[in-house]
């Protein structure tokens, strides 16, 4: 059966060049050619993918190389998502799960923890174009609490929503000054410019529908206007 679980005719070629019409009962190294044109080359135990192997997804153009357990991706492996990027790290039950690094096609990199295919736990996201970083606690693929760090060392620490600051937080400056306030999120109007972000994917490598674009509005706490200029002068 193929990685998607399709039942149908397929061809298995063993390392001894023996051709079979099923992998049932086979133990060893072989190459399976599935009806949907997917191809698996690797280890089998009692007819199932078990050990290490390479799986090529014909329709999507993805390619996985790494560990397998009872026909699903498991352990350490690398998935190249066609047109999206690549993930190298731990897998469980066919999903990104554990510690791993996802490098997106635009050069952005997320390094950290995953759970059931999504960013979860502590992680750092680096934006290639700006060299900015977001690091902290992630849940369901979103940063919930952490730091937004500029290349010059200035950073904001607080709560996040939609992978952007929201609510109370504090700016920290290199000279030791701090600035307290809140971030508001306002939905962008159509036609407003915003730099492109990474293409997020689900556990199967399918693009996730993007949410509405957002503008950030910073409100400085009363009585600290002296440092406001420092925030406004930080290159956005």
DSSP string across 19-53: EES--TT--EEEEEE-TTS-EEEEEEETTEEEEEE
Tell me: the pLDDT tens digits for 174-199? 999 999 999 999 887 655 444 445 55
Measure Cα distances from 53 to 7, 67, 212 in Å.
Answer: 20, 7, 39
Strands 214-220 and 178-187: antiparallel
What is the model's pLDDT at position 7?
47
Quote the tokens at residue 171.
């700016």
The residue with greater pLDDT, 3 or 185, is 185
pLDDT > 60? residue 235: no
pLDDT > 90? residue 223: no
Find all residues with CB under 8 Å of 69, minimum gap 6, and list them: 50, 75
Closest CA to 51 of 23, 73, 82: 73
Tell me: the pLDDT tens digits for 85-115? 999 999 999 999 999 999 999 999 999 999 9
pTM for this prediction:
0.83
Reported residue count of the chain is 236
Mean pLDDT (whole number) for 71-94: 97
pLDDT > 80? residue 234: no
In this structure, CATH architecture of domain 84-233? Single Sheet (2.20)
What is the model's pLDDT at position 1?
55
């Amino acid at each position: 059966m193929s990685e998607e679980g399709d039942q149908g005719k397929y061809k298995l070629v063993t390392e001894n060049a023996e051709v079979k019409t099923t992998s049932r009962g086979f133990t060893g190294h072989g190459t399976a050619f599935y009806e949907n044109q997917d191809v698996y080359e690797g280890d089998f135990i009692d007819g199932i993918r078990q050990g290490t192997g390479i799986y090529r997804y014909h329709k999507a153009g993805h390619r996985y190389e790494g560990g397998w357990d009872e026909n699903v991706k498991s352990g350490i492996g690398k998935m190249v998502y066609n047109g999206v990027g690549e993930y190298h790290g731990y897998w469980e039950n066919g999903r990104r799960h554990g510690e791993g690094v996802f490098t997106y096609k635009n050069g952005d990199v997320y390094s950290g923890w995953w759970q059931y295919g999504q960013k979860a736990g502590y992680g750092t996201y680096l934006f290639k174009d700006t060299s900015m970083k977001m690091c902290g606690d992630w849940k369901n693929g979103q940063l919930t609490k952490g730091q937004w760090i500029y290349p010059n060392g200035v950073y904001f620490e607080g709560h996040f929503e939609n992978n952007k600051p929201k609510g109370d937080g504090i700016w920290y400056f290199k000279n030791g000054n701090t600035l307290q306030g809140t971030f508001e999120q306002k939905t962008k109007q159509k036609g407003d410019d915003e730099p492109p972000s990474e293409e997020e994917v689900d556990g199967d490598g399918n693009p996730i529908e993007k949410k509405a674009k957002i503008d950030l509005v910073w409100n400085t706490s009363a009585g600290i206007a002296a440092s406001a200029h420092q925030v406004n002068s930080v290159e956005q």
